[in-house]
Amino acid sequence: MNKKVIILTIFIILGMISFATIYKINKDHQNNSILVVEKEFKYQAEKCFYDAKCQKVVTLKELYEYKYLKEKLTNPITKKYYEETSNINLETNKIELIS
């Protein structure tokens, strides 16, 4: 009886640790995936701005029209396209991605 309780306790502790670790790894992966999309958006927006084709507030639609982005940006978690009204303000570096 005592041996069963100890084994059960060990499995419960291992399960709790495993669940927390997997959750943290998954959350970090999702955040990093979104960060990659945001960095690509910012990079292309700055490129467009320095080429004097865009203003301080750059929308996805402008980047598509000027061929800075050849494929539509997608949310890596939901797999939906971001709306063309999504924008970045290059003065404040505020990114507003709407999916």
pLDDT tens digits, 37-47:
999 999 999 99
Are 41 and 62 in contact by the 8 Å Cβ rule? The answer is: no
Q: In this structure, how many other beta carbons lie within 10 angstroms of the beta carbon of residue 63?
A: 25
How far is the C-alpha of 37 from the C-alpha of 77, rounded, in Å? 11
Q: What are the angstrom distances between the C-alpha of 62 and each of 1, 23, 24, 32, 42?
A: 70, 37, 36, 25, 13
For residue 47, what are its two tokens?
């490129």
Using the predicted structure, report yes or no on whether residue 13 has a pLDDT greater than 80: yes
Which amino acid is it at 64?
A: Y
Count of residues in the chain: 99
Q: Give 88's strand partners.
A: 58, 95
User: What is the model's pTM?
Assistant: 0.81
Spatial neighbors of 2 by CB under 8 A, at least 6 apart, are none
pLDDT tens digits, 54-90:
999 999 999 999 999 999 999 999 999 999 999 999 9
